[in-house]
């Protein structure tokens, strides 16, 4: 399994089958079989499947965006306010681990799901550059997971003029290395981004009526404007239904005048806290 994983990683870096065989000290024919999708015969039904795939790339992106160590060794936790989204992520993790999906728990207003797996924990917490290189052939799925976890869709509004002047898709994180890598991956897809710092360490923040001291700087990677956001929608997009619907709504009104866009948006969306959410029908 270790050789199989290394072979897949080298293949993603454009090594030939012969070069991979030489590096790993195995036969070129064995490498060819692996690259055609034949897994090692030692893989049993109950062993995790962490070979590069769309599902694994999505889970890794999501974990880096919003996953965390659950406080116990080798246990990873996914935590969201969106139950349906968490059930989807939990289902993918269970599939990769070849287990039945675990029931969701609650932590205040959030739903949680924990998985205890040495292999999965070590994989998701490995050096970031190595993880990205391993999954680069599924970059779009990796990005979709990352944006589903911490991404958002927003309208740029000039209230003084009553005009919706632009739209954006962004993702927030305290790790600028992650966002720089995300920006490079989007650039390879032809999507332009900007990274900006929005909050500084030491600032006071308020969450659900409670005050906290911010421990880290917060950065945002932003895709701005209809042309760039359309490209993001077609190449990456969201699995999250709420974010996907809002993105499509804003793209759809792009042909209207700024004033018409504003009127439509205000009629269909309302502000709750810091977010614009769709009004109930």
* CATH number of the domain that residue 227 is part of: 3.10.28.10
CB distance 236 to 145 below 8 Å: no
> Are 108 and 156 within one domain?
no
> Are 162 and 239 within one domain?
yes
Report the share of the chain in percent with pLDDT over 90. 44
| Number of independent structural domains in the chain | 3
Strand partners, 220: 172, 196
> Are 158 and 99 within one domain?
no
**pLDDT band at 62; cut points 50, 70, 90:** very high
> Are 149 and 247 within one domain?
yes
Report the share of the chain in percent with pLDDT over 70. 90
> Are 87 and 125 within one domain?
yes
**pLDDT greater than 70 at residue 70:** no
**pLDDT band at 75; cut points 50, 70, 90:** confident
Task: Supply the DSSP symbol for 104.
Answer: P
> Are 165 and 263 within one domain?
yes
> Are 70 and 148 within one domain?
no
The pTM assigned to this predicted structure is 0.77
Residue at a domain's end among 82, 100, 134: 134
Burial tier of 183 (Cβ tally within 10 Å: 0-12, 13-18, 19+): buried
Top-confidence residue, 175 or 71: 175
> Are 120 and 95 within one domain?
yes
> Are 218 and 111 within one domain?
no
> Are 145 and 272 within one domain?
yes
**pLDDT greater than 50 at residue 67:** yes
Top-confidence residue, 67 or 191: 191
Say how far apart CA 247 and CA 233 lie, in whole Å: 8
> Are 180 and 254 within one domain?
yes
Say how far apart CA 56 and CA 135 lie, in whole Å: 8
- What 174-177 contacts at long range (C-beta under 8 Å, 24+ apart), as own/partner pairs, is 174/216, 174/217, 174/218, 174/219, 175/219, 176/217, 176/219, 177/128
Quick check: helix, strand or coil at residue 173?
A: strand
List the structure tokens of 255. Answer: 């042909």
> Are 71 and 25 within one domain?
no
The residue segments making up the domain with residue 161 are 141-278
């Amino acid at each position: 399994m270790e050789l199989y994983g290394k072979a897949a990683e080298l293949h993603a870096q454009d090594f030939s089958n012969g070069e991979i065989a030489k590096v790993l000290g195995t036969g070129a024919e064995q490498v060819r079989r692996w690259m055609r999708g034949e897994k090692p015969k030692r893989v049993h039904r109950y062993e995790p499947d962490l070979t590069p795939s769309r599902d694994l790339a999505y889970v890794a992106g999501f974990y880096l965006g919003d996953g965390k160590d659950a406080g116990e060794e080798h246990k990873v936790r996914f935590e969201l306010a969106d139950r349906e989204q968490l059930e989807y992520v939990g289902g993918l993790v269970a599939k990769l681990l070849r287990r039945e999906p675990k029931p969701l728990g609650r932590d205040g207003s959030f739903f949680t799901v924990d998985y205890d797996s040495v292999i999965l924990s070590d994989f998701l917490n490995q050096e970031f550059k190595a993880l990205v290189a391993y999954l680069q052939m599924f970059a779009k799925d990796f990005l979709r997971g990352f944006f589903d976890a911490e991404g958002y869709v927003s309208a740029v509004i000039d209230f003084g003029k009553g005009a919706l002047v632009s739209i954006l898709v962004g993702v927030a994180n305290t790790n600028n290395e992650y966002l720089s890598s995300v920006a490079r991956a989007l650039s390879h897809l032809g999507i332009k981004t900007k990274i900006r710092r929005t909050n500084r360490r030491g600032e006071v923040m308020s969450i659900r009526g409670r005050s906290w001291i911010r421990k880290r700087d917060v950065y945002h990677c932003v895709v701005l404007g209809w042309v760039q956001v359309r490209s993001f929608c077609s190449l990456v997009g969201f699995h999250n239904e709420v974010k996907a619907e809002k993105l499509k709504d804003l793209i759809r009104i792009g042909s209207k005048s700024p004033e018409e866009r504003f009127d439509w948006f205000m009629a269909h969306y309302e502000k709750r806290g810091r977010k614009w959410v769709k009004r109930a029908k």
